[in-house]
Structure 1
């Protein structure tokens, strides 16, 4: 795990607390599979790995516990909760039902200035992919997609997708890095923006369908132990 202080700009002009930024980085580590299912992590150990103090890590992990992403283990720390393949399939199915039509509709309604403002975030995803920084990749990917959905003007929809994304597990990201394929997936975000700016709704739908189609392969990629981890 990269030892960097987590940083995640917020959406809609809302300023994040440091605790929220730490929680976002920890959530990204969970999604990327860098925090392993069933393992117990202490706040001091995580703080050392992230280069931050233990207090915001402990507070952030309590927030993640409320979301059901980790369980508190008395006097030890926090255990990453298991997610079944059926649950992950259900999360991905709901995301497809919500994100594909909502994003496609933005080809007709989104302000081009607001769309262009997301290009630096899309480029961050590509940069993180090239560097093999999975936590930065997940953070930027989340920021991009939630920022895009926010343009639809439905804050509750954004929160629903934020929750679904937070529950995902993309264990196959490491394999994509090793095979040099993560950058190609990352560049789909730039392709999506180009289609939106071209007002090509069919192309947007096609890119989003392909993009979300990668998700199951990412979390389902088996690892050396055969347990769905890479």
Structure 2
């Protein structure tokens, strides 16, 4: 196993377990931890320069999210996401996010929508700067913050969980080809339509965006293979 990129883990506001879990999710998303491979807590702890206990606890958190699965006496295997899984995740997200985009367009305060612009711009900037983790984090904040404007917390939790389970593989190759930038710019298009009060247009734009995201998943998986 290659060493994970060194990460800053110590802050005043997060438990070490939570910080390790966040770092491991980032490693899963970027492809540093590969689907089907088994990793032990002591191995990962050595990469982080910490004890194995918080790493093991973090891996158990990821197991509850379906991102890894325990392997007796060996560690944790990164779960593999197949095409059927991706199709189903996309279908569920479309059923939730498309109509909710229309609802939020019709009901949210303009100031709340305007507050999404810096996040949408951050997504584009991260894609152009080849900041993969920053791209994914800003993308997560845009979608979940927008959905939260519906007032339905369970809806936000559901989409957040789907995003974790449908993590992207092989994004480094996609980034090199510049294929993340068009997807990033779609967030600005969606937001502009919402601010214009065009609920139907915003729904159509969100549907196209989620379709493009599904295509990126497939390409990312191919690149990682």
The number of equivalent residue pairs is 220
Partner residue in 1 for 2:7: 4
Cα displacement (A) at 1:58: 2.7
- How far apart, CA to CA, are the structure 2 residues paired with 1:137 and 1:52? 27
Partner residue in 1 for 2:224: 229
State whether residues 29 and 168 of structure 2, in contact with CA within 8 Å, keep that contact through their aligned partners in structure 1.
yes
- How far apart, CA to CA, are the structure 2 residues paired with 1:127 and 1:22? 26
Aligned residue among 157, 164, 167 for 2:165: 167
> Kindly tell me: are residues 130 and 97 of structure 1, through their superposed partners in 2, closer, same or farther at Cα, counting changes over 3 Å?
same
TM-score (norm 1): 0.82
> Kindly tell me: are residues 37 and 119 of structure 1, through their superposed partners in 2, closer, same or farther at Cα, counting changes over 3 Å?
same
- How far apart, CA to CA, are the structure 2 residues paired with 1:140 and 1:59? 26
TM-score (norm 2): 0.83
Aligned residue among 66, 77, 80 for 1:79: 77
What runs of 5+ residues in structure 2 fail to find an aligned partner?
none
Comparing 104-113 with 51-60, greater Cα deviation is found at 51-60
- After superposition, the C-alpha distances for 1:63-109 in whole angstroms (9 at most, x for unaligned) are 01112210123454321012221111111111101111101221111
Partner residue in 1 for 2:122: 124
Partner residue in 1 for 2:60: 62
Partner residue in 2 for 1:207: 205
| RMSD (Å) for aligned C-alpha atoms | 2.7
> Kindly tell me: are residues 136 and 163 of structure 1, through their superposed partners in 2, closer, same or farther at Cα, counting changes over 3 Å?
same
